[in-house]
């Protein structure tokens, strides 16, 4: 008597193996892992190459357009081989001879040394940016994580309990938005949105208390009228750009001012504080002191002296500047980050663990 169940069971076994195989075998790229970058910015001149932030670009992942977001009005999608050429291994991009990309050689400040923007009617880089989405096999961190739980225990507890949290942002024109194309793309808003996703039961509010064009000296003088009128649980102190300009205050004065602002925040508002550093402005700008590393160290020392959290934005940008030119990140070609630059600030905030 034949056993008809054996061929049937064998067929089931084969089908099961095939299903299991389909579920477990991954695309070779995904199996190795990848790093997705959205909206990396470039300004490109003639057919000169420019570096991506990362090498080892994954073929088929690159999308190039004229606007930061694909949904932005009037966005143009560019074509590889027609508008640009990419070296995937080394991570570079260049215009073709007949590219539709804006040509950066037409910028009034192109290759100008020691320039004074006051001598030019329009020096913005915004009309010259292209924006690129891509994936890379490189997983390098922009900066090592820092652990700040000792300084932000109150914030963490409120977020975990689902309590209301009010975050006040105090700083210069970069803190005010610094040419981010939309409010939601400012680094503080990105970070607050991240916190809302991590702590969905908490009610988090962000308030702006920035003073564009001013320094920590004016922030102290205006503290009562601005920050003093708010009820913060956390205060973000984002200064340094104007202090470090030619004719600005010394790193020592900057450090003492940050300490004073942090102490006021703690004493009069019972608020926790985050001090964060600033990136280098355009090295070809007439009014840069070329001493931002000293002001960065002053900010770090101020955070330690005031017993508050610290975020190393300068370190993130220095790693980026090792690959990318400054104009590709500067909306005004001087000292205001573009949308991708705000994303770099956001990445620095994410590397602060608490």
Burial degree of 55 (CB within 10 A; 0-12, 13-18, 19+): middle
* CATH superfamily name and code, 146-353: SGNH hydrolase (3.40.50.1110)
What's the gap between Cα 229 and its chain centre?
29
Give 147-161 pLDDT, tens digit per residue. Answer: 999 999 999 999 999
- Tens of pLDDT, residues 99-135: 999 999 999 999 999 999 999 999 999 999 999 999 9
Would you give the DSSP letter of residue 136? E
What average pLDDT score do residues 166-179 get?
Answer: 97
| 211-224 average pLDDT score | 98
b/e for 329-352, b at 16 or more Cβ within 10 A? bbbbbbbbbbbbbbbbbbbbbebb
Q: Which tokens sit at 218?
A: 């004016």
Query: For residues 27 and 128, which has the higher predicted lDDT (pLDDT)?
Result: 128
In this prediction, residue 95 has a pLDDT band, given cuts at 50, 70 and 90, of very high
Q: Which of 328, 295, 342 is nearest to 175 (CA)?
A: 342
What is the strand order of the sheet 164-171 is part of?
A: 203-208, 164-171, 234-238, 272-276, 309-311
What average pLDDT does the segment 168-172 reach? Answer: 98
Residue 143 binned pLDDT confidence (cut-offs 50, 70, 90): confident
Q: Is the pLDDT of residue 55 over 90?
A: yes
In the chain, which residue ranges form alpha helices assigned H by DSSP?
A: 5-24, 28-32, 153-161, 187-198, 216-221, 251-269, 292-305, 313-321, 339-350
State the CB neighbour count (10 A cutoff) for residue 203.
12
| Mean pLDDT confidence for 228-237 | 97
Residue 13 has pLDDT above 50, yes or no: no
Going by their DSSP bridges, the two strands 203-208 and 77-78 should be labelled as unpaired
Q: Is 85 exposed, middle or buried (0-12, 13-18, 19+ CB in 10 A)?
A: middle
Q: pTM of the entire structure?
A: 0.90
Q: What percent of the chain has pLDDT over 90?
A: 88
Residue range(s) in the chain whose domain bears CATH number 3.40.50.1110 = 146-353
| Predicted local distance difference test score (pLDDT) of residue 33 | 62
In angstroms, rounded to a whole number, what is the distance separating the alpha carbons of residues 122 and 237?
A: 30
């Amino acid at each position: 008597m034949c056993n008809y169940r054996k061929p049937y069971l064998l067929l089931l076994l084969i089908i099961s193996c095939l299903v299991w195989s389909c579920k477990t075998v991954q695309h070779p790229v995904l199996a190795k892992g990848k790093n997705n970058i959205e909206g990396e910015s470039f300004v490109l001149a003639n057919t000169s190459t420019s570096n991506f932030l990362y090498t080892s670009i994954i073929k088929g992942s690159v999308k190039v357009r004229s606007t930061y977001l694909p949904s932005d009005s009037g966005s143009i999608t560019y074509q590889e081989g027609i508008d640009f050429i990419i070296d995937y291994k080394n991570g570079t991009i260049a215009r073709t001879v007949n590219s539709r990309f804006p040509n950066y050689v037409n910028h009034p400040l192109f290759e100008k040394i020691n320039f004074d923007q006051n001598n030019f009617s329009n020096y913005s880089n915004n009309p010259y940016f292209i924006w690129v989405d891509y994936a890379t096999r490189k997983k390098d961190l922009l900066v090592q994580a820092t652990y700040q739980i000792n300084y932000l225990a109150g914030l963490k507890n409120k977020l975990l309990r689902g309590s209301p949290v009010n975050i006040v942002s105090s700083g210069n024109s970069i803190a005010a938005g610094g040419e981010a194309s939309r409010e939601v793309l400012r680094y503080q808003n990105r970070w607050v949105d991240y916190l809302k996703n991590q702590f969905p039961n908490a009610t988090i509010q962000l308030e702006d208390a920035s003073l564009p064009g001013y320094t920590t000296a004016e922030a102290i003088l205006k503290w009562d009228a601005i920050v003093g009128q708010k009820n913060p649980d956390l205060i973000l102190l984002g200064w340094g750009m104007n202090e470090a300009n030619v004719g600005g205050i010394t790193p020592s004065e900057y450090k003492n001012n940050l300490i004073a602002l942090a102490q006021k925040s703690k004493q009069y508002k019972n608020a926790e504080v985050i001090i964060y550093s600033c990136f280098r402005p355009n090295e070809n700008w007439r009014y840069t002191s070329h001493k931002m590393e000293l002001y960065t160290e002053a900010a770090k020392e101020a955070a330690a002296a005031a017993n508050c959290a610290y975020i190393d934005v300068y370190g993130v940008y220095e790693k980026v500047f090792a690959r990318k030119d400054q104009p590709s990140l500067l909306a005004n070609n001087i000292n205001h980050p573009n949308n991708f630059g705000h994303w770099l600030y956001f990445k620095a905030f994410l590397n602060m663990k608490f």
